[in-house]
Amino acid sequence: MKPRDRLRIAMQKSGRLTEPALDVLKRCGLTFRQSRDKLFCFGEGEPVDLLLVRDDDIPGLIAQGVCDLGIVGRNVLDEFKGVAGDAAAALTEWRPLGFGRCRLSIAVPQDVDYTVPKDLDGLRIATSYPGLLGQWLRRNEVDAAVVTLAGSVEIAPKLGTADAICDLVQSGGTLVANQLRETDVLLQSEAVLAGPDTLPTDERGDMIELLLKRLDGVIQVRE
């Protein structure tokens, strides 16, 4: 791949993390000119550009070296690390960013008896996070079937395609609306700055160090 002298950060194009991610970068002193196709934002002051993509693509773009850093939910990063194996082993969380907080949880229909994970033995669990769910099932020695769905996980029990779900929860309102009860938290998540665990040795590495220093100031001011 052609060496780059500008830093490239991947972030969500349009979704829950977009505005707070732009805000935190702005408070680090970075400003951008958005291109017409809105996929690429050129950094005006510092040599730092943005690539605007679906959040699910962010860990892969960093692992492939297409981007140097990414702002992404821990849930997406850890799921990628769990399923992508070696390619993702060197990805790390550089900083937690304090927004996009949510948790990945198991939930069961309100009328189902549930006390311990073993109660899920023999059941079907719908999720968009088969890697993280699989790890948790193995850790708890639960023999359940994982039903992978891209979306609308919370209606699977009502549709009869699953007996329980494993999905992101924030206020809990979606679970209540679907007569589901949260039973176990698998992961506490928030947006993180992700990158390779060793910094590039060129100017981009220096720029990352500068950005991390500024981020620490921004995060401290917030706390």
For residue 79, state whether it binds ligand PRT (rule: CB under 6 A): no
How many residues line the site for ligand PRT (CB under 6 A)? Answer: 21
For residue 60, state whether it binds ligand PRT (rule: CB under 6 A): no
b/e string for 201-212 if b means 16 or more Cβ within 10 A?
eeebeebbeebb
The position carrying tokens 């969500």 is 12
Binding ligand PRT (rule: CB under 6 A), the pick from 10, 17, 108, 192 is 17
Which residue lies nearer to ligand PRT by CB, 172 or 196? Answer: 172
Q: How far is the CB of 57 from Zn ion (least distance, A)?
A: 8
Interhelix angle 18-27/203-222, rounded to 10 degrees, is 100
Which residue lies nearer to ligand PRT by CB, 119 or 190? Answer: 190
For residue 180, state whether it binds ligand PRT (rule: CB under 6 A): no
End-to-end CA distance of the chain: 40
Binding ligand PRT (rule: CB under 6 A), the pick from 15, 65, 122, 217 is 15
Please give the structure tokens belonging to residue 191: 């947006």
Cβ atoms within 10 Å, residue 147? 19
Return the C-alpha torsion angle 111, 114, 118, 123, nearest 10. 10
Which residue lies nearer to ligand PRT by CB, 169 or 186? Answer: 169
Binding ligand PRT (rule: CB under 6 A), the pick from 169, 186, 194, 207 is 169
DSSP 8-state class, residue 117: G
User: Where do contacts with Zn ion occur on this chain (CB under 5 A)?
Assistant: 55-56
